[in-house]
Amino acid sequence: MQLDNKKDIEFEVLIATMNRTSLDFLNSMFSNAKLEDYNILIINQYQNKHQLVSNKSNIRVVNSLDKGISNSRNLALKHAVGNVVLFADDDVVYQKNFDKVILNAHKNYLEADIITFQLTDFEGNYFRKYSTNVKHNKKSIGQVNSVVISSKLEKIKNLSFDTNFGLGAAFETGEENLYLQKALNKGLDLIFVPKVILKHPVYSSGKDDANNKLIYARGAYCYKKYGTIGYLKITHYIYLVFKKGEISILEFIPKLLQGFKGIKAYKELKNQIND
């Protein structure tokens, strides 16, 4: 790892990636900007000999044998040094001057601990139907993708992602929502600014609503967030998937059982932790 003692860094991008041996992937991410203008921390989860080295003073690297996006985010927070940080994945493409949009938002909303933004796909379509509320609540945080979460580092340094959720974990969804929910519970101020800062490929694991693996994970997520009411929440979710025509009436019960299976798995995991 290359970890210099850096101070007074205004803005830092925290990138999660896997099995990289070259920094070339950054060229597409920052194709609308000068890479050397940004302070970047890369968490490279690797297997075998796929370690990454940086010879650039503005790019730091931590190679990790851990797995899962939540582990990556937590490790990034441990080593981050920017006053304001932005979570990132390796398949996004940033808009020109995206950093200025983020920093200006933090200057305009001095009370904000976390500020989220918008993203589009490469066709220019919004990823979500965004709320018109400026201040986030328990409902609006469900519209947030992790790659548009910016934060004052000092406010979130000890706010960790649940490593049981997110890609590469037992339940591969919901980690950013649970993270923001934890922030709300701790009394942090969360603000939404309706400005696009990046593009993301149209496919997202979190948008494949009828996928059994996702439904299984969403069942666990619903139970963690809502307790016993989670059974109703996952049932409603399957109903919405059916209404959108993504599953047939014959698939409704099998899909629902997948969700209940996820709840059961999460309850067993929770019991193991408490033992």
Report CA-CA distances (Å) from 52 to 23, 37, 80, 197: 8, 21, 18, 27
- Pairing state of beta strands 39-45 and 9-18? parallel
Write the class of the CATH domain 9-205: alpha beta
Cβ neighbour number for residue 27 with a 10 Å cutoff: 9
Residue 270 binned pLDDT confidence (cut-offs 50, 70, 90): confident
- Pairing state of beta strands 39-45 and 59-64? parallel
Q: Per the structure block, which two tokens stand in for 112?
A: 């904000």
The SS3 assignment for 119 reads strand
Provide the percentage of residues in the chain whose pLDDT is more than 70: 95
Spatial CA neighbour of 107 closest among 8, 6, 10 = 10
Q: What is the pLDDT of residue 204?
A: 52
The SS3 assignment for 88 reads strand
Residue 19 binned pLDDT confidence (cut-offs 50, 70, 90): very high
pTM listed for this prediction? 0.91
Q: Evaluate if residue 182 carries a pLDDT over 60.
A: yes
DSSP 57-73: TTEEEEEE---SHHHHH
Contacts with 212 (C-beta within 8 Å, 6 or more apart), sequence order: 255, 258
The SS3 assignment for 24 reads helix
DSSP 158-177: T----TTBSTTSSB-S-HHH
Q: Evaluate if residue 207 carries a pLDDT over 60.
A: no
Domain boundaries, the chain: 9-205, 208-274
Mean pLDDT of 42-63: 93
Mean pLDDT of 48-67: 92
Provide the percentage of residues in the chain whose pLDDT is more than 90: 83
Q: Evaluate if residue 274 carries a pLDDT over 70.
A: no
Task: Tell me the average pLDDT of the chain.
Answer: 92
Q: What is the pLDDT of residue 203?
A: 63
Q: Evaluate if residue 271 carries a pLDDT over 60.
A: yes
Q: What is the pLDDT of residue 1?
A: 42
Q: What is the pLDDT of residue 2?
A: 46
Q: What is the pLDDT of residue 129?
A: 84
Task: Give per-residue pLDDT as tens, 89-115.
Answer: 999 999 999 999 999 999 999 999 999
Q: What is the pLDDT of residue 275?
A: 53
Task: Give per-residue pLDDT as tens, 126-176.
Answer: 988 888 889 999 999 998 999 999 999 999 988 999 999 999 999 999 999
